[in-house]
Structure 1
Amino acid sequence: MVADREGGARRRPGRAVAYAVCGAVLLSGCASMPDSGDLRNVESTPRQDTGVRVFAVPPAEGAQDDDIVQGFMEALTSDDPQYDTARKYLTPAAARAWRPERATVLADGPGIMRDESGPVGREQDTERTYVLTGSRVALIGKDHAYEPAGGDYRAKVHLSKDPKSGQWRIDRPPTTIVMGKSDFQRNYTSVDKYYFATHTRAGANGRPVAVADPVFVRSKVDPMTEMVRSLLKGPTNWLEPVVRSSFPTGTALQRGVTGLAPDDQNRLVVPLNAKVARVGRARCREMADQLLSTLRDLAPTLEKVELEGPGERRLCELGEEQSESVAWRALEQSPQYLYFLDGKHRLVRMPAGVGGSGATPVPGVFGEGTKTLRSVAVSRDEHMVSGVSADGRALYVTPLAAEGALGEPVVTSQGAAEDERLTQPSWDARGDLWVADLNPAKPRLYVVKQGTGKPVAVTLPASHGRITDVRVAADGVRVALVVASKDDKQSLLIGRIERGDEEGGTPAVVGARPAAPDMELVTAMSWAGDSRLVVVGREQGGVHQMRYVQVDGSTLEGPAPAALSRVTAIAAAEDERMPLVASSEDGIVRLPSGAQWQKVDKDGTAPVYPG
């Protein structure tokens, strides 16, 4: 990852940070604060290895006002747990009132300039105002949620000079932590919290469905304890209306608990307050499951979670091997087959995974090739299949069984042109089928209960544009929408599905937000995990590319899939061990991990995994 200011202004000497490797020991004397000189942009620190921590340096005696501002802004990018050093740049009153709970992420480190419209004359000797500027990339809220943001950033920082000590200090700091994108990526890491869908259960035993809720926490400041606290406080504001937590309201870590970490048996003990005293065993196991799922990214070797109440009273424990019986997770559902349409218009399948080969027609009417299709979707239990006719006018649903028969269409479209009719359908975990009708005269998004009920029109967000593609998430509470605007741009949005009253309420997609804010033309997409998608599209002024995106619009680390030309469809499984599959000018191709694209079927189209 390049630094924010690569190729820009030379880094200012004496940057107010010190580096400590592995032992996190402050290297005294490694950095100093100059007491004179011009003021420049706050340079963002190039990303460091995971063993490197950055500590702030307190203000030097007699530091000038510009150095105080510079030092404070650089202290905000340090690994100081409570920002104690940053507070030393503030007046005592400002330090007590300052709440560093939110963050503003800029494209580069913030620019700083003196506000020449500030105090004049004798007042100028005791007061200063500086202006912070930059281009906004995102906001991080109190709930740790990432929200893409654009436009110019401008904020004022006011300083005053203590009449007794003669020291400059900030008495009105910025209302949020401010840093460049590179510093943000060095300081923060994205972790999925897990809750349960309010109205969705799956599997033969009706298990609750786990829903990922991505948030950002500081990666080197006790992230495991912070993630537990974040989980206990509840879901992010955006997701809260459609999920529940099994933790009783008010549950928190016991007073003074920090430094949570698994023991040498890969077991994590989590001490909780008295709110959990009367929790039953089944609910306690759900609580432990939420913790186990949430902390896997931070502690991949974690095998067991044990919950304790006051007085070290053991409440319950849950091991990795028992978690599957507690909740349904898309990540744990490995597909049996990959499906696609062959050159004879038949729906065929082949074993999923890198070693799969030899496609054969599916059992039932779609495998016979008597009905020409242009897109299909297979239910997540691989018992049902839905297909859109070649002209896009009709959606059919039939069992994946030899005795299956093709009945009447479940949904039909009256769109005049083929590209103004039905989209590719998709299934959620509870067996509901989703499809959009692109008819300009009457655009609709439909959900068909269990794939066989009466289609129900879903209320859509207003003023976002015309929907051109839809994929529902496995959890049934989020949906990915490709939306076309009047200027021919196609954006990827993630909407929240609110089902309302289960006894007849109208489902609605609300809170739609961008998942790929820098892409102006999205041509294909697929869910590729609990909180990410794989997208084919083009950035403004760029070329077509394929890459992964987070549902919250943040940038994912790691390499993008290998380039592939003329992609018309993309398929990914939530199980990340499954290869990426695409339809291109070479037919059906797949991308195993660490390899190049491999040809599967030169005449195939419309590849899908279950979902």
Structure 2
Amino acid sequence: MPDSGGVEHVDASPQEPQVQVFAVPPQKDASPSEIVEGFLEALTSDDPEFSTARKYLTEEASERWEPERSTTVLADGPSADSTRTRTDPDGGGYLYALTGRMIATVDDEHAYRSEQGKYSSLVHLVRQDGDQWRIDVPPNGVVLAQSDFERLYLPVSKYFYASPSSSDGGEAPSAPAMVADPVYIRKRIDPVTEAVRSLLDGPTNWLDNVASSRFSTGIALAEGTKSLAPDDQNHLKIPLNERANAVKPDRCAKMAAQLFFTLRDLTPAGIEQVELQRENGSKLCALDADQAEASAPNRSLSGADYQYFIDEKHRLVRMPKNGDEVEPVPGPLGNGERELRSAAVSRAEDRAAGVSNDGRSLYVGSLLSDERLEKTEIRSEAKQEKDRLTKPSWDGRGDLWVADRDPRDQRLLWLAQGGGDPVEVKVVGLDDARINAVRVSADGVRVALIVEQDGRTELKIGRVERQGTSEDPEVSVVELRPGAPQMEEVTAMSWAGGSRLVVVGKEAGGVQQLQYVQSDGSVLQGSALPALTGVTDIAASEDERLPMVARSEEDGIVRLHPGANWRPVVKEGTSPVYPG
């Protein structure tokens, strides 16, 4: 530290928030194992085009190799199998065998998919350029360890609109909900531009049947656009090609809303405004946060005024989102007329559904008046209470879902607008597994199920497809995929955002934990929540600023405010829920 001299102004250079990882090119006379290990190490760098990794390949292999086509995620990274690594007796080359425990794959749409199993790949090397070893048959795409994947890749939710179904008469019953489509992009290789390009490509295959984009086919970034970044006012301008020049204002606003919700959390300061531009740079439309919410009123119903649960008198009660006062809900479900074991509140908070205390019957009543409680046509005939109706769930379209766990007649049931004749939902791929819990997303196109089979309870996420007519609807759940593949026993779950859930469960041989997961089955970094003993039920809001509510066998109804620890509310109570 100097103790004399003048004071001078020094301009500080901006600091990188994270360390950059640079790949090292192959060394002269490197052995085959050093070439393969150097190539695999180069895959974990921040090299945008994998240019250094390509130096480990022959020219022909470099031209064929397409790292963007797939990413394979292994538990501990690829390792050599010495029993299969040897000189190739046929071609004079060298065979290098890679093995590992596979966790997931990410395809060319950036979609994550859990893939549990053994990974095995043969890498072939030849001598070239003065007797130097180079790879002429590389692994497919990129192969790396889970820790490297978490460091290099960023989860992003692309937003689309729920497609109308034939049972709606070709039109959605209200303004179409926005559907979050989770993908993974490279974290430090221009994520904003990469997210925009991915959005313009449309929904991933898994959601393509039930979600649509307001960007017409062929609309892309204007030619020559290399990088997108918000200005010092957090306004982002996005130039589009000539296919967007004649887009009408209403459609443009919906396009901008898709971009706004996709990009809003991708920069440290967020996005305040999105402006779409024509090919010549003129303004097509602009959208700020308030206008974006108005363009997609059903994107997230985060304005929930209350949290709800069943009290010791088996009534539906509520408490303000930021207060501890507990009061019975207005109407028949709160006056004790019918004892309840579980309930669900509509997303508009104007109606609620309750399962009778014996688990046999489902009722629907108003939360705005003392109108008579309506008994639905759903009734469970199971002999034991634990085999009867699950907690119900409302989707964002106003439809009601519940499962009957009767071993003799296991069913998932759907009530249009919470009434009428129940429709049995066909669940493709469920086989003989029993549904223990059902929660439908706000968009109404995805459903989370806790299913039990062979003594194991798992979380499954399915896509909801609606066919038929409004008079004779057909509802099915298809393409079930693991929601928390790392957990052997799932106790409870709740949607906690457009593409995020909170899950209570245990890994094999582990203790109960609370964790956030993506709807594609991936685990978010830093996703573990404060520990809580004996959690049997949990409820979260799509608005992450609101507290989480749970039921603990030891503490009763408890709440978790952001940045705090669990705090008891009432000792006696069950079945906590947010609207939904």
Change in Cα spacing, 1:139 to 1:329, as seen in structure 2 (3 Å) is same
Cα deviation for residue 58 of structure 1 reads 1.4
The equivalent of 2:145 in structure 1 is 180
Instruction: Indicate the SS of the match to 2:376.
Output: coil
Q: Choose which of 379, 391, 403 in structure 2 pairs with 1:412.
A: 379
Contact 2:305 2:321 in 1 (8 A): yes
Q: Choose which of 553, 562, 577 in structure 1 pairs with 2:545.
A: 577
CA distance in 2, matches of 1:331, 1:505: 26
CA distance in 2, matches of 1:301, 1:226: 16
Matched, 1:310 2:279: yes
The worse-fitting range, judged by mean Cα deviation, of 56-65 and 77-86 is 56-65
The equivalent of 2:110 in structure 1 is 144
Contact 1:522 1:535 in 2 (8 A): yes
Matched, 1:78 2:52: no
Superposed counterparts of 1:531-550, under 5 Å: 531-550=499-518
Matched, 1:168 2:168: no
CA distance in 1, matches of 2:59, 2:314: 74
Q: Choose which of 221, 234, 239 in structure 2 pairs with 1:266.
A: 234
Contact 1:570 1:607 in 2 (8 A): yes
Amino acid at match of 1:239: L
Contact 1:330 1:574 in 2 (8 A): no
Superposed counterparts of 1:12-31, under 5 Å: none
Superposed counterparts of 1:281-320, under 5 Å: 281-299=249-267, 300-320=269-289
Cα deviation for residue 559 of structure 1 reads 4.7
The equivalent of 2:574 in structure 1 is 605
The equivalent of 1:474 in structure 2 is 442
Matched, 1:198 2:160: no
Cα deviation for residue 170 of structure 1 reads 0.9
Amino acid at match of 1:289: A
Contact 1:272 1:307 in 2 (8 A): yes
CA distance in 2, matches of 1:533, 1:508: 22
CA distance in 1, matches of 2:503, 2:403: 19
Contact 1:110 1:132 in 2 (8 A): yes
Matched, 1:427 2:399: no
Instruction: Indicate the SS of the match to 2:513.
Output: strand
The equivalent of 1:365 in structure 2 is 332
Instruction: Indicate the SS of the match to 2:382.
Output: coil
Q: Choose which of 44, 48, 72 in structure 2 pairs with 1:104.
A: 72
Q: Choose which of 338, 351, 376 in structure 1 pairs with 2:307.
A: 338
Cα deviation for residue 113 of structure 1 reads 4.4
CA distance in 1, matches of 2:51, 2:517: 35
CA distance in 1, matches of 2:139, 2:529: 40
Contact 1:195 1:210 in 2 (8 A): yes
- What per-residue deviation string (whole Å, max 9, x for no partner) do you get for residues 38-59 of structure 1? xxxxxxxxxxx84211111111
Instruction: Indicate the SS of the match to 1:171.
Output: strand
The equivalent of 2:204 in structure 1 is 236
Q: Choose which of 548, 560, 573 in structure 2 pairs with 1:591.
A: 560
Runs (5+) with no aligned partner, structure 1: 1-21, 25-48
Contact 1:129 1:158 in 2 (8 A): yes
CA distance in 1, matches of 2:30, 2:86: 23
CA distance in 2, matches of 1:599, 1:484: 30
Contact 1:589 1:600 in 2 (8 A): yes
Cα deviation for residue 256 of structure 1 reads 2.4
Q: Choose which of 448, 459, 462 in structure 1 pairs with 2:429.
A: 462
Instruction: Indicate the SS of the match to 1:54.
Output: coil
Amino acid at match of 2:112: Y
CA distance in 2, matches of 1:542, 1:604: 27
Cα deviation for residue 419 of structure 1 reads 1.4
CA distance in 2, matches of 1:276, 1:298: 24
CA distance in 2, matches of 1:561, 1:410: 39
Instruction: Indicate the SS of the match to 1:499.
Output: strand
Instruction: Indicate the SS of the match to 1:224.
Output: helix
CA distance in 1, matches of 2:33, 2:514: 44
TM-score, with normalisation over the residues of structure 2?
0.93
- What per-residue deviation string (whole Å, max 9, x for no partner) do you get for residues 148-189 of structure 1? 111111101111112x52222111111121001111111101
Contact 2:273 2:289 in 1 (8 A): yes
- What per-residue deviation string (whole Å, max 9, x for no partner) do you get for residues 319-343 of structure 1? 1121111003454522111111222
Runs (5+) with no aligned partner, structure 2: 1-12
Instruction: Indicate the SS of the match to 1:459.
Output: strand
CA distance in 1, matches of 2:371, 2:150: 52
- What per-residue deviation string (whole Å, max 9, x for no partner) do you get for residues 460-510 of structure 1? 123452211111111100000011112x10000000001124443411100
Amino acid at match of 1:139: T
The equivalent of 1:33 in structure 2 is none
CA distance in 2, matches of 1:329, 1:470: 21
The equivalent of 2:358 in structure 1 is 391
Cα deviation for residue 116 of structure 1 reads 4.7
Percent of matched pairs sharing the same residue: 52
The equivalent of 1:484 in structure 2 is 452
Matched, 1:133 2:99: yes
Q: How many residues align?
A: 558
CA distance in 2, matches of 1:78, 1:216: 16
Cα deviation for residue 534 of structure 1 reads 1.3
Change in Cα spacing, 1:23 to 1:52, as seen in structure 2 (3 Å) is farther
TM-score, with normalisation over the residues of structure 1?
0.88
- What per-residue deviation string (whole Å, max 9, x for no partner) do you get for residues 499-557 of structure 1? 12444341110011001101111111111111111111111111122222111111111
Contact 2:228 2:236 in 1 (8 A): yes
Change in Cα spacing, 1:116 to 1:396, as seen in structure 2 (3 Å) is closer
Instruction: Indicate the SS of the match to 1:129.
Output: strand
Matched, 1:349 2:318: yes
CA distance in 2, matches of 1:560, 1:65: 41
Contact 2:376 2:419 in 1 (8 A): no
Contact 2:293 2:299 in 1 (8 A): no
CA distance in 2, matches of 1:575, 1:371: 32
CA distance in 1, matches of 2:557, 2:467: 40
The equivalent of 1:46 in structure 2 is none
The worse-fitting range, judged by mean Cα deviation, of 97-106 and 579-588 is 579-588
Amino acid at match of 1:485: Q
The equivalent of 1:219 in structure 2 is 187
Contact 2:300 2:442 in 1 (8 A): no
Contact 1:207 1:325 in 2 (8 A): no
Contact 2:361 2:375 in 1 (8 A): no
Instruction: Indicate the SS of the match to 1:498.
Output: strand
- What per-residue deviation string (whole Å, max 9, x for no partner) do you get for residues 291-343 of structure 1? 00000121242111111121113211111121111003454522111111222
Contact 1:331 1:576 in 2 (8 A): no
Matched, 1:562 2:530: yes
What CA RMSD, in Å, does the superposition of the two structures yield over aligned residues? 2.0
The equivalent of 2:154 in structure 1 is 189
Contact 1:330 1:575 in 2 (8 A): no
CA distance in 1, matches of 2:521, 2:17: 24
CA distance in 2, matches of 1:179, 1:332: 38
Contact 1:571 1:609 in 2 (8 A): yes
CA distance in 2, matches of 1:319, 1:246: 18
CA distance in 1, matches of 2:469, 2:253: 26
Contact 2:392 2:401 in 1 (8 A): yes
The equivalent of 1:3 in structure 2 is none
Instruction: Indicate the SS of the match to 1:558.
Output: strand
CA distance in 1, matches of 2:55, 2:86: 27
